Amino acid sequence: MGGPQLRPVGKTPTIVNRIRAAAGLAVSSALVLTGCSAAGLSASPNDDRINVVTTTGILADLVENVGGDRVDVVSLVPEGGDPHSYDPSLRDIRDVVYADVAFTNYLMLEEQALINAIDANLPASAANVALAEEAVQYAANIIPLVEDVSLDTIWLGLRAEGGGEIGLERGARVELSADTLEGPGALHAYLTGSFGDIDHYFDSTDGLRGDSEDTVGLPADAHTHLSWAFSEPGIYELDLTARLRPQQTDAAQEVASGTIVFAVGVDPYSVPARPGATVLDSGHADISVDLANDELTLLHDRDPKGRHDHSGRDYHPLDEVVVSVPNAALHEVPPDPAYNFLRTNGQQVYQLAQAVLGKHVHGEIDPHLWHDVSNAQAYVQIIRDTLIEKDPQHAADYMRNTEAYLAELDALDEEVRTTLAEIPESRRTLITTHDSFGYLASAYDMQIAGFVSPNPAVEPSLTERMRLTETIRNLDVPAVFLEPNLAQRASTLQEVADDAGIEVCPILGDAFSPEANTYIEFMRFNANSLRDCLGGGG
């Protein structure tokens, strides 16, 4: 699951500077991009076709079916690429500069650097359409982003909200800085990527200065996971300051500041600095930057089962809360050298786990709408109307193409439904790589049992392996599912599946594959893989 990638402020990729430099340049030596138009877009005045850029191959295929030979389409993210993490190249900037229309998915699906590149370089006369955000007007099925975060300890993330209320554009960025720490030991806040890469955000061992080295940046109206580690038991008081950059080039404006208190391995109800405070010790919570009210709060989901659907919430003033880090959170530092920043291998730290591996900044709505064919049909209608507005003299062509393609998608929807209905009801259970198949489950009567983020760089504990094995055994699932671009790295999941005697089968999430390079083939591939691996078809 979810979206533009979280980056430490001050560590922005050099591509951002290259993007700015490239805004008005025609780059002749850039890499050739794999996509619907391998040669890139043309600025030739003799070509009257509509130049279109999309962020993904899936969107490009939908555009080609509507536009036919009236459009020249380029997907910025190459085949097999990941829109969650893809950084644009100089060739991508050239294509954006020449585009008449840009189609993104957004709802924080794409890496923000890619979105910023489109917003900054698309001509003023061009249409800039976020399909998932427009789809609700075309009767799309929109569902909340749900994550199962049933934890023994609290899961503490970061959030920025209220950007829409004050009219911020999607390039706005919130920065949360750690200024000072009082406590008996060291504090670390960090994020572990799906394959073991670690981003450090707060590190008190070299002193907290509130500068770029101890600052987290994330889009307005976004949320992210995070791990928190403490070297010694006791009371920790962490001072935080939130700032806002309405645009990339704007100076940061202070929004709010406050202090969060952690009771680590000690009684959280007896903190001298917080008598009578609300103690949070389970479920899901976020340190939240409220842009609409200029406040730092602690948002806590009330659901006792820890379901992360953002439905029932409590907002607590930061100075009225104590976050409990119990002795149950005491863990050995992993043997991987990448974790030596916590303590020496074999020593213990108190840790509030990130819960979901991988950079997973997201908004409130699941952005993976296309896994429900009816939502893809909504996308197609938006594309039709956008192209007609841009090129009205060929409206009849776009309408005719759309009518024919919608009929194909009607047949596809019925085919997917019929194929998945062959799976015995007791086996319609998905364990996948990450949380991106909620629409497929909702539309076609499947159940999401959980999602696994493979992390071969960190050897999982025996308890973690046993828990996964027990889940597979209890649910009697015959297979788990991995996206092909993760399959070569998912050693832990592969080993657990081998031990359980079940298959690891392919499923496509955000991108095409050599076996399926159109949307219809994509959906058919997933339906057949699910049926064949979960025991359908006789």
Helix or strand holding residue 330 (H, E)? strand 330-332
- Sorted by sequence, the CB contacts under 8 Å of residue 139 that are 6+ apart come out as 374, 378
Question: What is the pTM (predicted TM-score) of this model?
Answer: 0.63
Helix or strand holding residue 157 (H, E)? strand 155-161
* C-alpha closest to that of 130 among 150, 159, 103, 170: 103
**Are β-strands 227-230 and 187-192 bridged in parallel, bridged antiparallel, or unpaired?**
antiparallel
The answer to whether residue 13 sits within a structural domain is: yes
The answer to whether residue 359 sits within a structural domain is: no
Q: Specify whether 57 is located in the same domain as 179.
A: no
Q: Specify whether 508 is located in the same domain as 426.
A: yes
CATH, residue 115: 3.40.50.1980
Q: Specify whether 151 is located in the same domain as 82.
A: no
The answer to whether residue 413 sits within a structural domain is: no
Q: Specify whether 280 is located in the same domain as 339.
A: yes
3-state helix, strand, coil in the chain (%, to 5): 30, 25, 40
What is the span of the domain harbouring residue 340?
Answer: 147-352
The answer to whether residue 415 sits within a structural domain is: no
* C-alpha closest to that of 93 among 118, 110, 113, 71: 118
Q: Specify whether 331 is located in the same domain as 477.
A: no
- Sorted by sequence, the CB contacts under 8 Å of residue 135 that are 6+ apart come out as 142, 369, 375, 378, 379, 382
What token pair was written down for 286? 């976020």
Measured CA to CA, the distance from residue 85 to residue 6 in angstroms comes to 10
DSSP 34: P
Q: Is 300 helix (H, G, I), strand (E, B) or coil?
A: strand
DSSP 319: G
β-partners of residue 174 are 218, 244
Q: Specify whether 128 is located in the same domain as 160.
A: no
Q: What is the pLDDT along the chain (538 residues), one digit of tens a residue?
A: 344 334 343 333 333 333 333 333 333 333 333 335 445 666 555 578 999 999 999 999 999 999 999 999 999 999 888 888 889 999 999 999 999 999 999 888 888 899 999 999 999 999 999 999 999 889 898 887 654 433 457 889 999 988 888 888 888 889 999 999 999 999 999 987 655 678 889 999 988 876 778 999 888 888 888 899 999 999 999 999 999 999 878 888 999 999 999 999 888 988 998 999 999 988 889 999 999 999 999 999 754 443 444 456 789 999 999 999 988 788 888 777 888 899 876 688 899 987 554 454 555 678 999 999 999 999 999 999 999 999 999 999 999 999 999 999 999 999 999 999 999 987 888 887 667 898 999 999 998 776 554 333 334 455 556 656 766 777 778 998 888 876 665 566 677 788 888 998 999 999 999 999 999 999 999 999 999 999 865 5
Q: Specify whether 22 is located in the same domain as 135.
A: yes
What's the half-sphere exposure (Cβ side, CA atoms, 13 Å) at 259? 13
The answer to whether residue 459 sits within a structural domain is: yes
* C-alpha closest to that of 106 among 171, 37, 40: 171
Can you say whether residue 139 is alpha, beta or left, with left for phi > 0 and alpha for psi between -120 and 50 degrees?
Answer: left
Q: Specify whether 120 is located in the same domain as 12.
A: yes
The answer to whether residue 344 sits within a structural domain is: yes
Q: Specify whether 50 is located in the same domain as 133.
A: yes
The answer to whether residue 361 sits within a structural domain is: no
- The backbone torsions φ and ψ at residue 160, rounded to the nearest 5 degrees and listed phi first, read -125, 135
The answer to whether residue 2 sits within a structural domain is: no
CB 458 within 8 A of CB 491: no
Q: Specify whether 179 is located in the same domain as 307.
A: yes
Q: Specify whether 331 is located in the same domain as 189.
A: yes
Helix or strand holding residue 314 (H, E)? strand 313-317
Q: Specify whether 135 is located in the same domain as 169.
A: no
* C-alpha closest to that of 284 among 226, 368, 331: 226
CB 229 within 8 A of CB 23: no
Q: How many domains does the chain have?
A: 3
Q: Is 452 helix (H, G, I), strand (E, B) or coil?
A: coil
β-partners of residue 430 are 448
Q: How far is CA 239 from the centre of its chain?
A: 28
DSSP one-letter string for 243-285: EEESSTTSPPEEEEEEEEEEEESS-GGG-TTSTTPEEE-SSEE
